Homo-oligomer: A and B are copies of this chain.
């Protein structure tokens, strides 16, 4: 008899493993693409080694979302600019007939979608010796070559389980938006621990700053610990100076740990396939917001043209700047987040304890024993225009109540962001969009946004719920 855990895993494995015919279809599409890229490269007189990389090459893709990575390895004599010119042209010709999107991470590449909804990436990189990396993607073929011989069909299945689990609990993907675990990292975790379940069991007990050095590049793990600063470290088997988990943010790591514990305790399909969130009815939403008694502030703006990694980098940076601004003005931020449809709608959400603050605030002066600083403090504040009351002595220090510059968080934001907020630290692209289309709303004023975007409605519903979807 199998355990509940085994049953759940067996069911998921069935769902995520492509059938024989599906495999053939994906692989033949991949082969065709490689051929096309080769031909186009020849035509353009670019000497390129063209290969399939990633999950398709390693047989670890998820059945419902195959993504074919075709890499063209070019000579190091080629200038970097060529990635965005001739290489991109080759890719475009090769993917003719598909919907195409130009992208760039560290450098330009092409994303395309076939009529069968298969995603394709055509990516240039340099053909280099290990350790002589030039562009960020130069390591990828080495990753493929490293992992492929180590993963048999069974281990590939374990990787598929882990990927699906991570997708389900929201920690999959190294892109800036998520800050989670890459596919390659999932593969290495399975290699290191042996199976999906063993990865979860280990993760449930991960301590602060776990370091894994699967290839044993370092004599002592402490050396690797000192070298890397990130919260989780997986030394890259093909490059001892690189942390495969560099993109993993502390929040995602913590969520993965918590989800692993919860799943092991009560295995359930919902971890892999969370139920869709039903957006609250508008009246329910208003009730829920009002019941909190706090002030939820929505800072909304429109188009913000940038590729996702750049957009989310700028959004997160701007979110930190806004949080700092609000806190500097003494409002208590309870929670904050940011949402974007990556097209024309973006919203920062800040929940603050009280929308309004008293007109005055206490300003702590120097301790009494600092005689000269005290004199300066008194000269400045006694009878000054800005002084509401005091100065008085409190716990060994001079203290004065001074007029507060901003007592309404909404007014504060409107004032500081009216011109785009570059001076308070909003990132460039965000700042431009904010200058053009800022709107600041509080509590039920957000109904407008809510009704305009079902995606946002779902997001806000989940945000108010405020817990991982697997936690019930």
A: residues with CB less than 8 A from B are: 204-205, 207-208, 250-251, 254-255, 257-258, 261-262, 265, 291-294, 334, 353-354, 356-360, 362, 368-369, 371, 374-375, 378, 382-383, 388-393, 395-396, 398, 401, 404, 407, 464-468, 471-472
Q: How far is the CB of A409 from chain B (nearest CB, A)?
A: 13
Q: 17 more A-B contacts (CB under 8 A) besides A292-B360, A392-B468?
A: A207-B369, A250-B395, A250-B396, A251-B393, A258-B374, A258-B393, A261-B374, A293-B359, A293-B407, A294-B358, A353-B358, A382-B467, A382-B472, A389-B464, A389-B465, A389-B466, A392-B467
Expressed in whole angstroms, the minimum distance between the Cβ of A211 and any Cβ of chain B is 16
- Measured between C-beta atoms, what is the minimum distance from A36 to chain B in Å? 46
Task: Give A393 Cβ to nearest chain B Cβ, in Å.
Answer: 5
Docked complex Cα distance between A374 and B258 (Å) = 9
Q: Point out the residues of chain B lying under 8 angstroms from A251, CB to CB.
A: 393
Asked, given contacts A257-B368, A471-B378, whether A466 binds B357 with beta carbons under 8 Å apart, the answer is no
The smallest beta-carbon distance between A213 and chain B, in angstroms, is 22
CB neighbours of A250 from chain B (8 A): 395-396
Contacts of A208 in B (CB 8 A): 369
Q: Which of B359, B369, B401, B466 contacts A401 (CB 8 A)?
A: B466
Which of B204, B257, B265, B382 is close to A471, meaning CB atoms less than 8 Å apart? B382
CB closest chain-B residue, reference A465: B389
Report B-chain residues with C-beta under 8 Å of the C-beta of A382: 467, 471-472
* Chain B residue contacts of A359, Cβ below 8 A: 291-294
For residue A396, which residue of chain B has the nearest CB? B254
**Bound CA–CA A382/B465 (angstroms):** 11
Asked if B371 and A261 sit within 8 Å, CB to CB, the answer is yes
Q: In angstroms, how far is the closest chain B Cβ from the Cβ of A251?
A: 7
Partner of A353, one of B357, B467, B468: B357
Given A369-B208, A388-B291, A471-B382, A393 and B254 contact (CB-CB distance below 8 Å)? yes
**In whole angstroms, what is the CA distance A304 to B466 when docked?**
50
A129 to chain B, nearest CB (A): 41
Rounded to whole angstroms, the CA-CA distance of A424 and B308 in the bound complex is: 55
A388 touches B204 (CB 8 A): no
Does A390 lie within 8 Å of B204, measured CB to CB?
no
* Measured CA separation A61–B405 after assembly (Å): 51
Question: B254 contacts A293, CB within 8 Å?
Answer: no
Set of chain B residues within 8 Å of A396, measured between Cβ atoms: 250, 254
Determine how close the nearest CB of chain B comes to the CB of A259; give it in whole angstroms.
10
Do A358 and B407 touch across chains, with their CB atoms under 8 A apart? no
Q: State the CA gap A401–B471 with chains docked (Å).
A: 15
- Contacts A258-B374, A472-B382; A392 near B360 (Cβ below 8 A): no
Verify B371–A205 contact, CB threshold 8 A.
Answer: yes
Q: Which of A255, A378, A389, A390 has the most CB of B within 10 A?
A: A389
Q: Which residues of B contact A471 (CB under 8 A)?
A: 378, 382, 391
Q: How far is the CB of A169 from chain B (nearest CB, A)?
A: 12
Is there contact, CB below 8 Å, between A383 and B472?
Answer: yes
For this complex, 24 residue pairs linking A to B, each with C-beta atoms less than 8 Å apart, are A208-B369, A250-B396, A258-B393, A265-B375, A291-B359, A291-B388, A292-B358, A292-B359, A292-B360, A292-B388, A293-B357, A293-B358, A293-B359, A293-B404, A294-B358, A334-B401, A353-B354, A353-B357, A353-B358, A382-B467, A382-B472, A389-B465, A391-B467, A392-B467
Q: Is the Cβ of A392 less than 8 Å from the Cβ of B466?
A: yes
Contact A360 B293 (CB under 8 A): yes
Quote the shortest CB–CB distance from A358 to chain B (angstroms): 4
Which chain B residue has the least Cβ–Cβ distance from A403? B291
In order of increasing CB-CB distance, the 7 nearest A-B pairs are A389-B466, A293-B359, A294-B358, A293-B358, A390-B466, A254-B393, A354-B354
